[in-house]
Amino acid sequence: MYEQVSHSLLNDILVELKPEIGNQRLRHFYTRLGANFYAIHSLFHMLYGDRADFKEQMVSLVETLALRYMERSPALRKSDLAREKDYNWFLSQKWVGMALYCDRFADDLKGLRAKLPYIQELGVNMVHIMPILDCPPDHSDGGYAVRDFHKVDARYGTNADVEALAGTLKKRDMLLVLDVVVNHTSNEHEWARRARAGEQKYQDYYFVFDDREIPDSYEESMPEIFPVTAPGNFTWDEEMNKWVMTVFNSYQWDLNYRNPEVLIEMIDIILFWANKGADVLRLDAVAFLWKKIGRTCQNEREAHLLLQLMKDCCQVTAPGVLFIAEAIVAPSEVTKYFGEDAINAKECEIAYNATFMALLWDSVATKNAKLLNLGLKNLPEKLERATWLNYVRCHDDIGLGFDDKDVRLAGYDPVAHRRFLIEYYTGSYATSPARGVPFGENPKTGDARISGSLASLVGLESALQMNNEQAITDAIKTIVMLHGLILSYGGIPLLYYGDAIGTLNSLEYMADPAKRDDNRWINRSHFDWQKSELRRQTGSIEQRIFSALQHMIAVRKVTNVFADFDNRQFLTLENPNLLAYYRTDPQHSRNRVLVVANFNNEVQHLPISVLKPYGFIEQGGMKELCSGSRIAVENELIAVEPYSCYWLVD
The binding site for ligand OTU (CB under 6 A) comprises 141-142, 144, 181, 225, 248, 284-285, 287, 326-328, 395-397, 399, 449
Residue nearer to ligand OTU on the CB measure, 399 or 642: 399
Beta bridge partners of 252: 186
Phi, psi of 166 (to 5 degrees): -60, -40
Asked if 560 and 430 touch (Cβ cutoff 8 Å), the reply is: no
DSSP-based three-state secondary structure for 648: strand
Q: Residue 461: how many CB atoms within 10 A of its CB?
A: 21
Residue nearer to ligand OTU on the CB measure, 326 or 406: 326
Q: How far is the CB of 442 from ligand OTU (least distance, A)?
A: 12
Q: How far is the CB of 113 from ligand OTU (least distance, A)?
A: 25
Q: How far is the CB of 519 from ligand OTU (least distance, A)?
A: 12
Catalytic: which of 254, 261, 326, 406?
A: 326
The phi-psi region of residue 389 (left if phi > 0; otherwise alpha if psi is between -120 and 50; otherwise beta) is beta
Residue nearer to ligand OTU on the CB measure, 253 or 582: 253
**Rounded to whole angstroms, how far apart are CA atoms 471 and 469?**
5
Residue nearer to ligand OTU on the CB measure, 108 or 397: 397
Asked if 305 and 43 touch (Cβ cutoff 8 Å), the reply is: yes
Residue nearer to ligand OTU on the CB measure, 244 or 596: 244
Asked if 553 and 124 touch (Cβ cutoff 8 Å), the reply is: yes
Q: How far is the CB of 248 from ligand OTU (least distance, A)?
A: 4
**Rounded to whole angstroms, how far apart are CA atoms 533 and 524?**
20
Residue nearer to ligand OTU on the CB measure, 44 or 388: 388
**Rounded to whole angstroms, how far apart are CA atoms 298 and 218?**
12
HSE (side-chain half, CA atoms, 13 Å) at 460: 23
DSSP-based three-state secondary structure for 156: coil
Residue nearer to ligand OTU on the CB measure, 34 or 136: 136
Ordered alpha helix ranges (H), 106-196: 109-122, 159-171, 190-196
Q: How far is the CB of 339 from ligand OTU (least distance, A)?
A: 18
Residue nearer to ligand OTU on the CB measure, 206 or 581: 206
Residue type, 518: D
Q: Using N-to-C axis directions, what is the helix angle for 74-85 and 27-48, rounded to 10°?
A: 80
Q: What is the CA radius of gyration of the chain?
A: 25
Q: How far is the CB of 354 from ligand OTU (least distance, A)?
A: 8
Q: How far is the CB of 136 from ligand OTU (least distance, A)?
A: 14
Catalytic: which of 284, 397, 406, 518?
A: 284
Residue nearer to ligand OTU on the CB measure, 440 or 490: 440
Residue nearer to ligand OTU on the CB measure, 476 or 486: 486
**Rounded to whole angstroms, how far apart are CA atoms 192 and 212?**
20
Asked if 282 and 332 touch (Cβ cutoff 8 Å), the reply is: no
Q: How far is the CB of 443 from ligand OTU (least distance, A)?
A: 17
- Our separate counts of H helices and E strands in the chain read 23, 26
Q: What is the bridge-based pairing of β-strands 126-129 and 97-100?
A: parallel
**Rounded to whole angstroms, how far apart are CA atoms 320 and 82?**
8
The alpha carbon of 298 is separated from its chain's Cα centroid by a whole number of angstroms, namely 17
326 is catalytic: yes
Q: How far is the CB of 642 from ligand OTU (least distance, A)?
A: 31
213 is catalytic: no
- What is the torsional sign of CA 451, 454, 457, 462? negative
Burial status of residue 539 (CB atoms within 10 A of its CB: 0-12, 13-18, 19 or more): exposed
Q: What is the bridge-based pairing of β-strands 280-283 and 208-209?
A: unpaired
Residues contacting residue 310 through CB under 8 Å, at least 6 positions apart: 182, 263, 266, 267, 270, 283, 323
Residue nearer to ligand OTU on the CB measure, 370 or 395: 395
Q: How far is the CB of 276 from ligand OTU (least distance, A)?
A: 21
What does 483-510 look like in DSSP terms, one character per residue? Answer: HHHHTTSSSEEEEETTGGGTPPP--GGG
Q: How far is the CB of 301 from ligand OTU (least distance, A)?
A: 17
Q: Residue 467: how many CB atoms within 10 A of its CB?
A: 8
**Rounded to whole angstroms, how far apart are CA atoms 212 and 217?**
8
Phi, psi of 529 (to 5 degrees): -70, -30
Q: What is the bridge-based pairing of β-strands 492-496 and 622-624?
A: unpaired
**Rounded to whole angstroms, how far apart are CA atoms 452 and 434?**
9
- Biggest CA-to-CA distance, the chain: 80
Asked if 525 and 496 touch (Cβ cutoff 8 Å), the reply is: no
Residue nearer to ligand OTU on the CB measure, 141 or 261: 141
HSE (side-chain half, CA atoms, 13 Å) at 527: 23
Q: How far is the CB of 400 from ligand OTU (least distance, A)?
A: 11
Annotated active-site positions, please? 284, 326
